[in-house]
Amino acid sequence: MITALKRNPNKIRQGSIIVDIILYTMAIVICLITLYPFYYVIIMSISSPQEVAAMNVFLIPKGFFLGSYELILKDAKMWWAYSNTLIYVTAGAVLNCLMAVLGAYPLTVKNLKGRKWIVVFLLIPMYFGGGLIPTYLLINKLGMYNTMFAVIIPGMVSIWNIILVRTFFTTIPEGLKESAFIDGASHLQLLFKVILPISKPIIAVIAIYSVVGIWNSWFDALVYLPNEKLHPLQMYLYRVVVQQSVDLKTLSLEDTRHAVANMLSSIQLKYAIIVFTTLPVIFTYPFFQKYFIKGALLGSLKE
């Protein structure tokens, strides 16, 4: 694979320099546009709180203040939440990939009876749901309320992922499967021995979708985990945001005082929490990225 990679650029990439210049300029412009928000969050998180409240930090940090980070780093609950998130992400990503593959493969077999109905069966829940309370009742009946399972188990199957994997599987040449059957393989063998090894890119996609999706999720925790000790990291951000969106118009003088104090103390905290919670997951990306590179599958496609 590595040799293929190294060879490719020279062999197939010999366009004109001008095209290259245009492409690179475009890439750099896009880069600047998309890098900015994160840069903005970072400079907001280290500027002095009053400048942050004034929201006039745009290019360089104004003042210097690390108090928000200090508050976060000293907060034991934050680290507790970090380890919870790691558990949710690991378990969730593994289960999601496994279920996506298991769900997708049979749907690519043309002769499977009732295939259309299974697809429709899968699609309906993407559009129709029973709402908060019936789902809560179910989770409660299953004894998962206020346990980590409430976050992991319901989220382990993503219909969207199944469809993505299936779409990828359908691009695999039929010949590969035929030859495996001639060797007498079962479907499960075919799936794990032949199809999975050449499906690394889509598995990587599902993995990163799951990792990022679970990392950023808080809603299930909000509903099913009243116990703070089980909260994932993103609940922190959610709570800070809620504290800031209190409607002051409905409060009495006394309560307004407290709400305003609360709000001010967390204006900057929001930015620091975003930096603190997203940096790790951003750095997981390059790990998956190598599977998306053109020609990465050259070796495994050889028959």
Partner 1 sequence: MKAASPVSKRRGFHWRDHLQLYLIMLPVLAHIFIFSYIPMYGIVIAFQNYYPGKPFLSFGGEIDWVGFQHFIDFFNGPYFVRLMRNTFLLSFYFLIFGFWVPILFALLLNELRTGAFKKFVQTASYLPHFISNVVVAGMVLSFINVDGIINAFVKLFGGSPVALNTEPGYFPAIYTITSIWKAFGWGSILYLAAMSSVDPHLYEAAKIDGANRFKQMLNITLPSIRPTIFILLIFAIGSLLSANSEFILLIYNPMVYETADVIGTYLFREGLLGGNFSSGTAVGLLVSLINFTLLYTANALSRKYSDYALW
Partner 2 sequence: MKIWRKALLSFMAAVLVMGTITACSSGSKENAGEGSNTTEASGKLRLLGPSSSNKHIRFDDREKYPVWKEVDKLLDNAGLDLEYELVPSEQYDVVIKTRMASGSDLPDIVNISKLDNTTVLNLAKQGVIQDLTPLIEKYSNGNIKKMYDQEFPYAKKTTTSPDGKMYWFSNLHKKTYQGKDPAPVSLTMLIRKDWLEKLNLPVPTTAQEYLDTLKKFREGDANGNGQKDEVLAYDPGIFSGAIAQWFGLGTDITAVDVENKKVVSPWYQEGIKDYFRYMQQLVKEGVLDTSLIGAQGEQRTQKMTENQVGSLSDYNLATYNEPLIKGGGEFLPLMPLKAVDNITPAAQLEPPFLVWQKYAITKDCKDVEAAIKFFDVIYSEEYANLLYWGIEGKTYELDSNGAKIFINTGSEEEQAKSGLVAGRQLFGDTVFPRIQFANLEFELTSVPAYKADNELEILKYTPYFVNMNNNFLAIPNDQQLERKTKILTNLTTYSTELATKLALGQKSLDDWDQYMTELKKLGLDELMEIDQQLLDRYNSIN
Query: CA triplet 178, 179, 181: central angle to 5 degrees?
Result: 65
Query: CA triplet 62, 258, 51: central angle to 5 degrees?
Result: 5
Give the CA-trace dihedral at 73, 77, 83, 89, to 10 degrees.
Answer: -100
Torsion angles phi and psi, residue 78, rounded to 5:
-65, -45
Among 2-10, 64-72, 78-86, 224-232, the segment contacting partner 1 (CB under 8 A): 2-10
Contacting residue, 28, 30, 53, 112, with partner 2 by CB under 8 A: 53
66, 43 contact by CB (below 8 A): no
Question: Which SS3 state, helix, strand or coil, does residue 111 take?
Answer: coil
Q: How far apart are CA 174 and CA 34, in angstroms?
A: 40
Binding-site size, partner 1 (CB under 8 A)? 107
Contacting residue, 119, 148, 176, 196, with partner 1 by CB under 8 A: 119
Contacting residue, 3, 15, 18, 303, with partner 1 by CB under 8 A: 15
User: Which CB sits closer to partner 1, 107 or 230?
Assistant: 107
Q: What does R_g of the chain's alpha carbons equal in angstroms?
A: 25
Q: Which of residues 142-201 bind partner 1 (CB under 8 A)?
A: 153-154, 156-157, 159, 162-164, 167-168, 170-171, 178, 181-184, 186-189, 191, 198, 201
Contacting residue, 3, 131, 175, 254, with partner 1 by CB under 8 A: 131
Q: Which of residues 162-221 bind partner 2 (CB under 8 A)?
A: 188-189, 192-193
Give the one entry of partner 1, partner 2, none that residue 14 binds, where binding means its C-beta sits below a cut-off of 5 to 8 angstroms depending on kind.
Answer: partner 1
Contacting residue, 25, 227, 289, 300, with partner 2 by CB under 8 A: 227
Q: The tokens 């000293």 sit on which residue?
A: 74
35, 254 contact by CB (below 8 A): no
Give the CA-trace dihedral at 166, 170, 176, 177, to 10 degrees.
Answer: 60
Interface residue list for partner 2 (CB under 8 A)? 50, 53-56, 71, 87, 90-91, 94-95, 98, 132-133, 136-137, 140, 146-149, 152, 188-189, 192-193, 222-223, 226-231, 235, 238-239, 242-246, 248-250, 252-254, 256-257, 260-265, 267
